[in-house]
């Protein structure tokens, strides 16, 4: 059971299940999210269940011994949520010259064994220090930690340990690139939970999408709509290209947001 009080959520607790050292995780199922993005659902290879607890937004570190001459280590944020008890999942998008991301999409199938350790990471909603409105900015596969966070908190909005409201502004290339869309489409219809999607390479305004890459006007208008322009009650989180994260941070700081209320997470292939 994860601690959801206003105490330090990152501190170890006696009731949190952990598994020390490297784990063998068996892929139980593969979901083809888009033509170039897969989600891998895993269980503990020895126990056949999810053998550890985690906080939404944390990541696992994987070790790949047979991809290159030397072992390669990569970290992937879990796109699953702690409220999903049976498996853990991470989502991988192919990228140009992405050695491990492309290898995973080409080679990992149901039954494959992956070695990982964790969970770890502080890119999470922290009720002790964060504001009650969580505003998230993402692009592409950078949406995955926010899918985890939103899915985990949506049934507890306004309760102790969770935000009062959540807003996600996310950019994809086109409607063919909507990662985790089934979850996001369901979330955006829940009171207190808002999902705003922009497409950078496709006009689909009639279907409710914005057009273009995330820019300062999109951020400002989304905050005006969701929070009546009240920046003082917002914690910002951003994951995606560095340029986008820098833009979001600069905008927030220009509105008086203190630096520790803007969190970023960088993804590498």
- Domain map of the chain by residue range? 23-120, 133-265
pLDDT at 90: 97
pTM recorded for the entire structure: 0.91
- Beta-strand pair 210-211/193-199: parallel
pLDDT at 20: 80
- Fold classification of 133-265 (topology level): Rossmann fold (3.40.50)
At 147-204, the pLDDT tens digits run 999 999 999 999 999 999 999 999 999 999 999 999 999 998 899 999 999 999 999 9
Q: List strand residue ranges (DSSP E) for the chain, in order.
A: 23-34, 37-44, 59-64, 72-77, 88-93, 113-120, 133-139, 165-172, 193-199, 210-211, 234-239, 262-265
The CATH superfamily label for domain 23-120 reads Translation factors (2.40.30.10)
**pLDDT of 4 higher than 80:** no
């Amino acid at each position: 059971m994860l601690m959801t009080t206003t105490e330090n959520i990152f501190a170890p607790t006696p009731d949190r299940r952990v598994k020390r050292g490297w784990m063998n995780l068996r892929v139980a199922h593969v979901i083809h999210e888009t033509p170039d993005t897969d989600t891998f659902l895993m269980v503990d290879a020895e126990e056949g269940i999810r053998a550890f607890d985690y906080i939404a937004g944390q990541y696992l570190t994987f070790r790949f011994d047979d991809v290159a001459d030397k072992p390669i280590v990569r970290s992937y944020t879990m796109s699953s949520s702690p409220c999903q008890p049976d498996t853990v999942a991470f989502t991988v998008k192919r990228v140009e010259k992405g050695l491990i991301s492309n290898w995973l999409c080409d080679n990992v199938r149901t039954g494959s064994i992956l070695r990982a350790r964790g969970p770890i990471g502080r890119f999470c909603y922290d009720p002790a220090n964060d504001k009650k409105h969580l505003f998230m900015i993402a692009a592409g596969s950078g949406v995955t930690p926010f899918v985890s966070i939103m899915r985990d908190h949506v049934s507890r909005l306004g309760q102790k340990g969770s935000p009062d409201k959540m807003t996600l502004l996310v950019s994809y290339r086109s409607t063919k690139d909507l990662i985790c869309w089934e979850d996001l489409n369901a979330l955006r219809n829940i009171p207190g939970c808002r999902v705003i999607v922009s497409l950078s390479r496709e006009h689909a305004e009639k279907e409710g999408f914005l057009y273009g890459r995330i820019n300062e006007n999109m951020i400002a208008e989304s905050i005006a709509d969701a929070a009546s322009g009240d920046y003082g009650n917002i914690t910002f989180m951003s994951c995606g290209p560095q340029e986008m994260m820098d833009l979001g941070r600069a905008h927030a700081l220009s509105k008086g947001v203190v630096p520790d209320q803007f969190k970023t997470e960088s993804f590498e292939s």
